[in-house]
Amino acid sequence: MTTAVAIPAVKSSRKVVSRAAERYLSRKQGTAVPRYPSIYIFVNPTSGGNKAAELMKLGMEKMSFQETGLEADVSIFDIREGASGEKPAFMQLRELLDSPQGPVLGDYLRVVVAGGDGTVMWVLQELILHGINTDRVCIGIIPFGTGNDFSRATGWGASAPSDFPGSRLTGFRTWLKRWLSADVKKFDIWKVGVKLQDDGGVIYQLKNGEKVPLTEVDSE
């Protein structure tokens, strides 16, 4: 199984298709094209010592940006809402992908994770549980977690910027532009099973060159 991941672009190598061309082709295919790309942001408010909660304090579930270099409809959700496999936000995302208003011409629906490595895996797990084709989703990251190893590896940095979301959402706008212009790379999704001995056991990790037990905090 694979998914796409947004990688910050130095010079974008993606083929850009104009919205007019999309509308022309969509008419021939009998489908509709959304006016602007849709970005779904899933927030884990407890990540990074509750730093990610700043996004939920905006008090806006949906925003539309219409300015030079930034045209997008942005939806923000608390990933904790709803039971696993029955989360309203993921159901909405699935409906959009299955509808004529979903992404066309091989484009991706953009999903941004506001959290750490554990939250990235949480989002991927919920995508799978909700029957969403991960090949049609591109994952971006706001590194609000503790380790943020995946964010480091994909070029989004070790932590969220200090000016995020920023006065009048200036920092937020900057990151939206980066997500929209990012290159897209395919990543494999692996499932690893761990079986402990009958009398229990400990999973270890290497941290700062030392072997230490893995804790729930580390998997945030």
pLDDT, residue 125, reads 92
pLDDT, residue 131, reads 94
pLDDT beyond 70 at 95: yes
Residue with tokens 């884990």: 44
Mean pLDDT, to the nearest integer, of 43-52?
A: 87
User: Which pLDDT band, with edges at 50, 70 and 90, does 25 fall under?
Assistant: very low
Single-letter amino acid, residue 115: G
pLDDT, residue 2, reads 67
User: Is-contact 47 119, C-beta < 8 A?
Assistant: yes
With residue 7 as reference, give the H or E element that holds it. Answer: strand 2-7
- Taking the C-alpha atoms of residue 195 and residue 190, their distance in angstroms, rounded to an integer, is 16
Tokens of 188: 């494999």
